[in-house]
Amino acid sequence: MREFPRFLIGASTKMYFNHARTMEWCRAVAAIARTHPAVRAGDAAVFAVPGYLSVPGALEVFDGAAMVGVQDLAAEDSGAFTGEVSGPQAAELGCELAEIGHAERRRFFGEDDAVVRAKTTAALRAGLVPLLCIGEAKRGDPPAAAAECLRQLDDALASAGASGLSGRIVVAYEPHWAIGAPEPAAPEHIAAVCSALRDHIRGLPAHVGSAVIYGGSAGPGLLSLVGHSVDGLFLGRFAHDPAAVATILDEVTEIAGHKPSDAGTGSKAADSIGAGGTDV
């Protein structure tokens, strides 16, 4: 499994797109990932988390240009679990990530800490990187938010630790109150919480090489403000237009200190695709 670069930039399409639109989006993002200076220089990696039915197509389209993940997975590896998709099934196809614990899974499907814990363990057991979504439900001050997120992180990893499982984690800090909001959390709030999470997970010997990224109405312009305290961004609706992915990768290029003239290749690739944005 590939090593993480300085920044991870990726998106989940949730259930917004049909299959044809998903494949159009994947082709556009793949073109960006293959040509953008930030990726070519090793400063960033792209990941994509499409709907289940589009995962095989996404893997074919990206063909290694981006990491592909599933939006959920079963807590069990096999058995009589109608409608579920297991970690071994996802890994067999070539997926590298499994999104776990998103606020929508908690809100709409009743997933609690115990379910998140079991699914995190299942992902590590299958050799997948858990894309572990954590965040506080209500807006509060950064110390309280950090304390709650650290509690969620430790709880999610508890069973894996007891089972002797190890592996990298991508912690996606997504304050529930910021998901779907017009703007992300304030940069100073993001910096405080993500710095605490980074310090903590870097002290866990079973999870060396892990990353902490921010989601929750994340889009272009944010990385330039919080890049010192996060390892990337988890994008939602702001990445429906692939050009936004290229713009954020341009920010990576600037942060990495490359010449401004080096940036923009990915943006031009996105413009040539012509995929439109969605405001939802």
Catalytic residue among 24, 99, 174, 251: 174
- Residue 188: is its pLDDT beyond 90? yes
The token pair at 176 is 């529930």
Catalytic residue among 24, 96, 99, 102: 102
Supply the mean pLDDT for the chain: 92
pLDDT in tens, 136-171: 999 999 999 999 999 999 999 999 999 999 999 999
- The residue behind tokens 């959920």 is 72
CA–CA gap between residue 185 and residue 222 (Å, rounded): 10
Against a cut of 0.75, is the pTM above it?
Answer: yes
- Residue 10: is its pLDDT beyond 80? yes
- Give the start-to-end residue ranges of the domains of the chain: 7-273
Could you tell me the pLDDT band of residue 236, with boundaries at 50, 70 and 90? confident
- Residue 107: is its pLDDT beyond 50? yes
Nearest partner of 252 among 3, 34, 9, 2, judged by Cα = 9
> Which CATH code for domain 7-273?
3.20.20.70
Please answer whether residues 251 and 232 qualify as being in contact, where contact means their C-beta atoms are separated by less than 8 angstroms. Answer: no
- Residue 223: is its pLDDT beyond 90? yes
Active site residue 102: yes
Could you tell me the pLDDT band of residue 3, with boundaries at 50, 70 and 90? confident
Active site residue 174: yes
Helix residue ranges, H only, 136-239: 142-162, 187-201, 223-226
Share of residues in the chain with pLDDT > 70 (%): 91
Please answer whether residues 193 and 145 qualify as being in contact, where contact means their C-beta atoms are separated by less than 8 angstroms. Answer: yes
C-alpha distance from residue 1 to each of 4, 11, 62, 83, 254 (Å): 9, 20, 16, 28, 27
From 20-24, 53-57, 176-180, the region with the lowest mean pLDDT: 176-180
- Residue 279's pLDDT is what? 35
Residue 61: helix, strand or coil by DSSP?
A: helix
